[in-house]
Structure 1
Amino acid sequence: MARKPEGKLKRGWTTGACATAATKAAYTALLTNHFPDPVTITLPKGEQPAFPLCREEINDTTAMAAIVKDAGDDPDVTHRATIISRVSRGLPGSGIVFHAGEGVGMVTKPGLPIPAGEPAINPVPRRMMAEVIAEVAKEHSGTGDVVIEISIPDGEALATKTWNPRLGILGGLSILGTTGVVVPFSCSSWIHSIHRGIDVAIATGRSHVSGCTGSTSEKAVMDLYGLEDSDMLDMGDFAGGMLKYLREHPVPRLTIGGGFGKLTKLAMGHRDLHSGRSQVDMFWLAERLQELNAPTHVVEEAKTANTANQVLVRCLEENIPLAEKIAHLARDEALKILNGKTQVDVIIIDRPGNIVARSSIAK
């Protein structure tokens, strides 16, 4: 995860807001032969940003407008991407038809807000585009019967840096956004992806999913259980966000995998495992060692250790089962959040990727 810069951060605009603005400009030009530039739209919360156009084209049946997305200070993979809307006249009475152009993905699995076989244009951006089509049609005596094709050059390559392939969105990016505004470092898109991963797992009948803190633990868990990529939830540091959603949308079994330090924080009761928002308490670890009747010198070393991994290495050398204890405590913390419908086990992985501890499975 990118490091948050100091100072006040600049907000940006979602792909959905950019697609809506480009659609408004294109449809206005189709009806009037004039592109509004900049083009102003109204977002769901009433804000009215103006977007400059970077490209425009028109003929008798189609108009195209393009906008360069500004994500502000958020480390968004679509920052500076070009969002293109090509609006064509539709058949009378056809209403609005959405197409995926170059770089916009298609939904291939159930469980997402858009059904399989549809372009990956989410419900709120679809509604926003429908509203500007109706607004422009009313103002310029149009029918509102249009085909809207959204494309993002290089979108297919950019999508490999997102969770789209894992969610079954193939061929490109999604057109997203519920407010139209990107709040820098809000982590909302990450948590949204966790939720969608759970939805897809349920809709496709997956009985065993896993949330891991990183790619090393993901590989270890996948190899251990023979899980597929679509079984893996992108938990990262957001254990609480994953577990709370699973409480309301349970699956039969969950495996949590991660490094010793991250899962020690979960065992302590932390729900956000990011280093900037939770820390390992070395005295807490020392108390767990006392419960295991560890030698006094190991307990005292733990109190002054620089990192949790330093304590882990020492315990492995001394054959002290601290990692197993942490795995069980982390599992118990997860069970406190869940609703009793999901079996849980926890696996702790060391830095080279070896499994050093496993909890039993409990519900």
Structure 2
Amino acid sequence: MKSAYIHIPFCEHICHYCDFNKFFIQSQPVDDYLRYLEKEMSNTMEAIEAPELKTIFIGGGTPTSLSAVQLERLLDTVNSVLKPGENLVEFAVEANPDDLSSEKLNVLKQAGVNRLSFGVQTFEDELLKKIGRVHEKKDVFVSFERAREAGFENISLDLMFGLPGQTIDDLAASLETALSLDAEHYSVYSLIVEPKTVFYNLMKKGRLHLPQQEQEAEMYELVMKTMAEAGIHQYEISNFAKKGFESRHNLTYWSNEEYFGFGAGAHGYINGKRTVNAGPVKHYIELIDKTGFPYKESHPVTRNEQIEEEMFLGLRKTAGVSKERFFEKYGTPLDGLFPDVLRSLEEKGLILNTEKSVRLTHGGKLLGNEVFQAFLGEL
């Protein structure tokens, strides 16, 4: 076990596209939640041999919606219970540009956090309003400069494309502004309209006007071209970094390695089982009181499922799936398991199947979901 994800399900506001487990912070028992989060971590550490963590990621929700005092308490819990040592290479926290005070930044820095992920989404103020964000372009600059002054040397900016009413020129301007900040990492995702979101309800009513599929593909091409020209290399379908600043935590997921998932609604992968925690805070607390753990689901992953996951997760990486590593993990050659799928995808020009790896072509990146789905159920 090398990684731990910790979920803080509280937000000052709810974005129109977000389907993550989240709640308005004003009406929530935040201090109780932090206490039970500590219980979950402690009980898990007692039940499982203490790991040497290499990455920790605190996400949400909005972790920085906590007060400075609450944030300090959370980080004290992480450090005292999970006991990250000298092997920890990445301690990351998601942050909103509008609630990141100098006080909170200092709390994060003092606790050992060494990577920040800013939820920017776009630098167009009108677009920010359309998607339900409350920060403005200027807030990003202020928070970014504060973070630099606090000593953070590894900052990621999250951007989105395919937004309602967004044009190619809007995206180009946002990319230019983002690159002007000279961050170490950029995550650039296309909008996916998920159920139980404001955008989903608008779409069902015919009131959500999104770019056409061809235009969205053009936007993705622009993202890849712009990042390459800036010397920011693409290491995963939606992620770009300066050399050495790839997200070590997310690479845990894409490499199909195990990780802890702590907090309401968090997913984990522990000792061959995928777990899902209860989402509602009250239910999360009740389950810990009752059983010591908040699991609402626990599913043993079969060997065939592991292999399929290895393919559709690993192919997200531009390096693809290493055949040598695949053989080490599963004791069988990759090519022998998926001959028809690999042949079909190669004929369509979506993958490169070489002696050492299987990876997406440029066209495969544009049709990634088609590639990933081809492996599901094959075994």
Asked if Structure 1 and Structure 2 have the same fold, meaning a TM-score greater than 0.5 normalized by the shorter chain, the answer is: no
TM-score (norm 2): 0.26
Greater Rg by CA: 1
TM-score (norm 1): 0.27
